[in-house]
Each structure stands twice: as structure tokens, then as C-alpha cells.
Amino acid sequence: MLTMMHTSYAQKEKSIARKMIDIMLRMVQEDGQGPTIQARNFFHVSSAMYDAWAAYDPEQETYFLGKMYNGFELPFDPNFKKPSQNIDSLRTIAIMYAGYGVLNGRYNLYGSKGRTIDYLNMQMDALGFDITKNEDDYLDGSPEALGNYIANYIIELGTQDHSREEDNHESEDYNQVNGNLKPDIAGVKGLKDPNHWQPIDIMSYIDKKGYDKTLKEWNYILIPGNTQFLTSFWGEVFSFALPPSDDNLHFDPGSPPLIQTKDSVSEAAYRWGFQLVQDFSGALDKNNTTLWDISPKGITSIEEHLPETLEAYKSYYENVQKNKRKKNIKNPITKKKYEKNVVKQGDYCRVIAEFWVDGPNTTSPPGHWIQFLNKVSYASSFERKWNGKGKALSQLEWDIKSYFLMTGALHDAAISCWSVKSHYDYVRPISAIRYLGELGQATDPKLPNYNPRGLALKKGSVALVKKGDPLAGKDNEHVNKIKIYSWKGPDYINDPFTDEAGTGWILAENWWPYQRYTFATPPFAGYTSGHSTFSTTGAVLLDYMTGSPYFPDGLETFTAKKNEFLLFEEGPSEDITLQWATFYDAAIETCLSRVWGGIHPPADDIEGRRMGKKVAENSINFAKQFFNQ
């Protein structure tokens, strides 16, 4: 979650839309559903509030009200009675009831009901809204009824928008290619096709929720595990602005790298990409004292240096490993050079892997970018000029429009990304790295355990187990197997508050991503990266809406406190302050965090970035019809 940010804030009064979104962010954190579902909920709440706001202005285009949406019409009489009282007051009431109705309808369906609905009702009461007012005949001018009318339609639409809400969004028709992987057992038993996703078999797990300062203890919640492909059908869901697609495949990036084919270039890219993830893992140790300057070094274009060929990919990620950044760039706001921010690589890479993880009991990847939007919108130095032009908008108008566009685009990012995930059903690193390691070494035919499709031997990273090696086994049963230098995995952690796994030599067949034992890897295919898609979409949208790629004041920060922030193990070993000059700086760090964390290879990341940009640009062009700027 986002806390302790750098940008300064005045005592700005939060709009009613912001208050509703704040309530929802808390509910999402308590709810625990997947990012696709939460992106849809964010969009439907924001579009409900948008229509409740737009209904009071005959010059303003509505989204659902009076429109045909994928064959479903919401009748609306724009000449409904508008009492002479302050229009802002009417809007406030209509917006709140519209948002409340959608939230109440959605989160009543799931196991989080007690944690979310009780909180929602409590907040409505605290704000002075009577939740028993459920009439929806708005023609006589009741703003409560207008809000309810919009919410009731969206709730009904939600049962027909192909999200399978009535079945709790279950992917009952997903046909998995591979058997389930039991990550605590060596190897990849059940992996029939190394190009396809292998579900992770974890029946249940304990997930840390946070530290209770009153009770002075950690709270936990039991969440059922899931070996199903989360919302594999999501490409079918009604979108915000996506162009029609006969096959429900949106912004198709083409096939990821594959192995066991006749395409040598594709096979080389497969082996290199997953081996790079394993190599990155070897840096995740507090004793890795390589020093990196992680201060902003100038604006980074979201398109800059995105690779196309394998050689370009290698060059790009070699620069990532070397932390190559621009030098001596000034903050465009303060006109001063960014000060150095030198940290240990091992701490930094673990921190970003966890800061951007956005898994269970967080606000999810879409929520993370909505929080960034909130930070920008309420910064004291920020002028609420749409696209940086014209007159400043009121706080309410800015919030309504920015939430509408941001959440609409993030909803489309989820649909597009998951349409590709489902179509290609691509393998995750935990399966691919173990598989390549089991094949053998691909470097020297004269050495034992040679297989040209295996892992390349690399000094300090990949080697053969020899007799006398601590990994050789009691009876030398592991001699000539592949060993890799990586983060050693959760088996080396008994207490995540005091223990660190660290890095070292392990058998490749036992490799884990940098994740907690109870999660291992997300319950859906890899390609393309959801984090890369969501974050690129969010960054492009913030750039467009604000008219600048820079955070207010030219700098935004987050401080991960020594031996407090990390949840997967103890750490970091010192305070680490993340810094971003631009929205793209934050987005790119998000993308790379999933490679460092062992969740995605480069192909997932880069194609997710390209897709996110296309989604954002499509959403921006579509939304211009609604805004009078």
C-alpha cells in the first residue's frame, strides 16, 4: 500500500467521489478477489458516480444513462425534476447512493461480506446517508432515487456482462494442459507441455494482513487456495472502450517464446528469458552490497528502448542489471539536480518485489494506480487542469472525470491482458526454470548431463553438482544435476519477522520465486504481465490527464523501514527510499519488480508494456466525447 509519500499536501477537502473511492479501496483490501474482478468493480462504481454527476448537466454526455451499452439500454429522461436547491448538494447525494448501490450489490456476493459490507454501511452512516432509502423513481427529483436507479441498472448489467458473476466468476470451462505443480516437491511432475501454464497446488494459506498497534500483534486471515485459472474467460467481458473483437482477443501481441519447436530463435529466447529470471534471483540477499544509485535520473519514455529482437532484449536487461540511468538531470519543477540515493542492490530489489506485489489483502494493481491518482489530485502544487490546459476544474469535477477515465482504462487493461493470458496459456518461471534445470546443461557436450535445450552454464550462477558438493546428497544421488545460485526459497524461513532465506546454491529442481511459501505464483498464466499492462496504462493516463509526465514537485517517494517493511522475510537491512520523478519511472519499476520477484520473464513484461500503452491511448480517444475540455 502507499504510505509516507513525499509530495506535499494542503488541507484540501475531499470530494464525495474521493470519499467513496477511499471506502472502496479499503473494501478491496479486505476482500481479496483477483485484479480482474476488482478492476471491473472500480470501473462500475466510478461510472455510476460519473453518470450521477453528468445527469445534472444537459451539456454533459452520460455513459450508461439514456444509452445503449452492448445491447442493454438504460432509459433516462434528462428533463427529470431538479429542485431549486443547490445542484452540488443534489449531485453529492446522487453520487453517494450510486456508488453505494454498486458496492453493496457487488461485495454482498462473496465471503468478504462481513468485513466489507459492515465497513461500507458504517461509513455511510458516518457521512450522514440513510441506507434504507432504496426508492429508484428519480423523476420527482429525488437524488437518492437517481443514484439507486443507476446502481440498480449496473448491478443487473453485471449479471449479463459475461463476467460470470452469478457463478462467482469461476472459470469452469478452462481446460488445463498440465497437471498441478506441488512446489514443495522437487521438479515439475505433471508438466506435459513446458509452453503452458502449470497450476500451483496449494490448498490453503495464511496471509499476513498487518500489524495491530493496539494489540501489538500481527493479524492473519485464512484464504482458500486456488488452482483454477482466475477468470480465464475475461476477454469476453463488456469493456469500457475496447474495439469489437470476433475472437475476444484484444491487442494481440503474438506468440511468446516457445520451446520444443523447430524455431531456434524462439527456443533461444525461451531459454534466455527464464534463465535471466533465475539469474536476477541471485541478487536478492542483504549481503549483496553492490551499491546502486536509485535516484531519478531524468524522464524515461514508456517507449524508450523497448526491445524487439532477442539481442535487443539481452541489451535492455543487461542495462537493467547494471542499473544504467541518465546522469545529472535536473528536477524540472525545482530546477535542482536530483540528489544521489545510494542503496544496496539486494535490499532495493527485494523491496520493489514486495512494494509492487499487490497480491491478496492489498488494493490490487488497479487500486495502486488509483492511489497514485489520489496523491496527485490532492497535492498542494497540483492545478486541476484537464490535460494541463484551460481553467482549473472543481475538485469534484476533476475527481469524477479522472476516476471515470482511469478506472475505465484499467478495466480494459484487465480484459485485454487476460484475453491474451487465456489464449496463449503461457508457463510461469517456477515451472520453466525447474524444467530447464531438469533437462541438463546446454553448454558443453563433453560434460555430463548435456542437453542443448537446458540451462547454459554460467560462472557463479549455473553449474553441475560434483562429488563432495554439499548438494551432492547422502548417496551422491544429485551428482551431475544442475545447481543454480538463487534466492534459496521459503523452506529456509521459519519466522518471516526474524529469518532471511538469503541466496546460495540450490538444485534447479527446487527453485522458488521470491514469494511467500503460501503463494508461490499467481493463479493464472503468465503472458502478458498484468502488472506491466496495468502500470503502463496508469502512467499514460496520469500523463494525459495532468498534462505532464512528472509527479507534482517532480518527485514522489516511499520509504521501506529497516527490518519492518518486508513480509516474505526479514528486511530490508536499512531504510530504502524509492523515488520516482515521473509516472513512467514508477511504472517501469513496477514492470521490473515482477522479473526480480520471479513472476515474469522479459517477454511477459515488455509485451505487457506495449499492450498497456495501446489500451491507454484507445481509452483516451474514446473518452474525449464525454468531456467538454
pLDDT beyond 90 at 450:
yes
Cβ proximity of 414 and 240 under 8 Å: no
Q: What is the pLDDT of residue 531?
A: 97
DSSP secondary structure code for residue 551 in this structure: P
Q: What is the pLDDT of residue 272?
A: 98
Q: Of 216-220, 315-319, 519-523, 556-560, where does the model show the most confidence?
A: 556-560
Q: What is the pLDDT of residue 362?
A: 87
pLDDT beyond 60 at 317:
yes
Of the pLDDT bands very low, low, confident and very high (cuts 50, 70, 90), residue 48 is very high
Q: Which three cell numbers stand for residue 597?
A: 520477484
Q: What is the residue-wise DSSP string for 309-366?
A: SHHHHHHHHHHHHTT----SPBPTTT-SBPPP-EEEHHHHHHHHHHHT---TTS-HHH
pLDDT beyond 60 at 420:
yes
> How far apart are alpha carbons 191 and 424 in whole angstroms?
16
Q: Which amino acid is at 611?
A: M
End-to-end CA distance of the chain: 33
Quick one: average pLDDT of 316-323?
91
> How far apart are alpha carbons 428 and 582 in whole angstroms?
30
Q: What is the pLDDT of residue 112?
A: 82
Name the 3-class secondary structure at 301.
coil
pTM for the full predicted model: 0.93
Q: What is the pLDDT of residue 303?
A: 65
> How far apart are alpha carbons 606 and 608 in whole angstroms?
5
> How far apart are alpha carbons 507 and 486 in whole angstroms?
10
pLDDT beyond 80 at 326:
no
Buried b (16+ CB within 10 A) or exposed e, 352-385: bbbbbbbbbbbbbbbbbbbbbbbbbbbbeebebb
Cβ proximity of 534 and 600 under 8 Å: no
Domain ranges of the chain: 32-174
Please work out, in degrees rounded to the nearest 5, the angle formed at the alpha carbon of residue 180 by the alpha carbons of 32 and 511. 85
> How far apart are alpha carbons 609 and 401 in whole angstroms?
24
pLDDT beyond 90 at 497:
no
Q: Which three cell numbers stand for residue 382?
A: 497540483
Please work out, in degrees rounded to the nearest 5, the angle formed at the alpha carbon of residue 357 by the alpha carbons of 418 and 606. 50
Q: What is the residue-wise DSSP string for 183-206?
A: TTSSS-TT-S-TTB---B---EEE
How many Cβ atoms are within 10 Å of 494's Cβ, its own excluded?
Answer: 8
Name the 3-class secondary structure at 300.
coil
pLDDT tens readout for residues 208-238: 334 443 444 544 444 444 557 999 999 999 9
Q: Which amino acid is at 557?
A: T
pLDDT tens readout for residues 82-99: 876 688 899 999 999 999
Q: Would you say the C-alpha torsion 54, 58, 61, 62 has a positive or negative sign?
A: positive
71: left (phi over 0), alpha (psi -120 to 50) or beta: left
pLDDT beyond 70 at 6:
no
323: left (phi over 0), alpha (psi -120 to 50) or beta: left
Q: Would you say the C-alpha torsion 150, 156, 162, 166 has a positive or negative sign?
A: positive
Quick one: average pLDDT of 474-488?
97
Identify the residue whose cell numbers are 494481440: 252
Report the percentage of the chain scoring pLDDT > 70: 91
Quick one: average pLDDT of 321-348?
87
Helix then strand count (H, E) for the chain reads 14, 11
Q: What is the pLDDT of residue 227?
A: 58
* Residue 66: Cβ-neighbour burial (10 angstroms; 0-12, 13-18, 19+): middle
pLDDT beyond 80 at 149:
yes
Q: What is the pLDDT of residue 202?
A: 66
Q: What is the residue-wise DSSP string for 4-23?
A: S--S-B--PPPPHHHHHHHH
> How far apart are alpha carbons 179 and 162 in whole angstroms?
28
Alpha-carbon separation of residue 219 from 13, 206, 207, 390 (angstroms): 32, 10, 9, 48
Name the 3-class secondary structure at 222.
strand
Q: Would you say the C-alpha torsion 467, 471, 476, 480 has a positive or negative sign?
A: negative
* Better-scored residue on pLDDT, 579 or 183: 579
Please work out, in degrees rounded to the nearest 5, the angle formed at the alpha carbon of residue 201 by the alpha carbons of 196 and 205. 135
User: Over the chain, what is the mean pLDDT?
Assistant: 91
Alpha-carbon separation of residue 414 from 2, 125, 171, 616 (angstroms): 21, 33, 16, 12
How many Cβ atoms are within 10 Å of 410's Cβ, its own excluded?
Answer: 33
Cβ proximity of 583 and 549 under 8 Å: yes
pLDDT beyond 60 at 154:
yes
Of the pLDDT bands very low, low, confident and very high (cuts 50, 70, 90), residue 10 is very low
Q: What is the pLDDT of residue 521?
A: 82
pLDDT beyond 90 at 515:
no
Q: What is the pLDDT of residue 45?
A: 98
Q: What is the pLDDT of residue 207?
A: 41
Q: What is the pLDDT of residue 209?
A: 35
pLDDT tens readout for residues 337-394: 899 999 999 999 999 999 999 887 789 999 999 999 999 999 999 999 999 999 999 9
Q: What is the residue-wise DSSP string for 592-628?
A: HHHHHTTS--HHHHHHHHHHHHHHHHHHHHHHGGG--
